[in-house]
Amino acid sequence: MPGTLFVVATPLGNLDDLSPRALTTLRSVSAIACEDTRRTARLLTRHGVQVPTLSCHKHNEGRRLESILRRLRAGEDLALVSDGGTPAVSDPGAFLVRAALAEGVRVSPVPGPSAIAALLSASGLPADRYVFDGFLPSRAAARRRRLRELRDEPRTLVLFEAPHRLVQTLRDLEEVFGTREMVLGRELTKLHEEILIGTAAGLLARLGPHGSRGELTLAIAGRGDESCAGDAAARRIAACWQQFLQETGGDRRAALRRAAKALGLGRAELQRRLAELGEDGP
């Protein structure tokens, strides 16, 4: 009888986000197929898991396929993980999953961390309906063409982006989407996590010409949801301002500094928004 291929979601960054079921599964399998054995080794060491690993990434997935399927046919249970989040969702693994299903192998998901859900939950944008479009094309013309195709999408749009393309992507978003509200998540759950809100132009001003480092997820208000997204952002800004105003004992300059950092907005942009909301800035 064939074994089971467990598709195991692993932490985006904070190693304590590994679920108890995922930990039990990783301890129970014969081997773990992973995107980067060194990165997975840190997770396994943190949780005391002593199970062999084998690399299975986009550059060697085809070569590894037969040896992995052979083990599954022989009745071994194996786990599939990526560097973080859920395998096969804009990550390596989909090729292996399809091949295992074609062989009649049971594929069982062990759900957990997801950059998509993590950002949506903290974005203030509508998340009852959304569209995930993965990574945009790397070539400028193809990227702008894809953005024009997505421009009239009424649902919240979620994208991944590489750090070295972020600035150009935001410029393209400013050109195609205009002043649409968006939320940028950087290094979610990690030590230097940032969640920045604003328009494409506002994010560009905040980030500067060199963009950002780390893993990036971007959520964009859908066409027709601009007012809803704007209302949510306004409530978040007002609540944050009032919180820091209280914590600093009414020191408006200190409150502005702290609120700007927490919201991922420049101080001038925050002052402008507070004025629009009728809040008394410094």
Token digits for 276? 């629009």
Measured CA to CA, the distance from residue 92 to residue 59 in angstroms comes to 9
Over residues 218-235, the mean pLDDT reads 73
Measured CA to CA, the distance from residue 36 to residue 49 in angstroms comes to 16
Q: 242: Cβ–Cβ under 8 A, 6 or more apart, which residues?
A: 279
| Rounded-to-10 torsion of CA 128, 130, 132, 137 | -160
Q: Which pTM value belongs to this model?
A: 0.77
Say what the pLDDT of residue 264 is. 65
Given its phi and psi angles, is residue 93 left (phi above 0), alpha (psi -120 to 50 degrees) or beta? Answer: left
Say what the pLDDT of residue 228 is. 54
Q: What is the pLDDT of residues 153-198, one digit of tens each?
A: 999 999 999 999 999 999 999 999 988 889 999 999 998 888 888 8
CATH number, domain 115-224: 3.30.950.10
DSSP for 145-159? HHHHHHTT--SEEEE
Measured CA to CA, the distance from residue 188 to residue 145 in angstroms comes to 29
Give domain limits for the chain.
4-110, 115-224, 231-276
Q: What is the pLDDT of residues 38-88, one digit of tens each?
A: 999 999 999 999 999 999 887 787 788 899 999 999 999 999 999 999 998
Backbone angles phi, psi at 272, to 5 degrees: -60, -45
The CATH architecture one would assign to domain 4-110 is 3-Layer(aba) Sandwich (3.40)
Say what the pLDDT of residue 211 is. 65
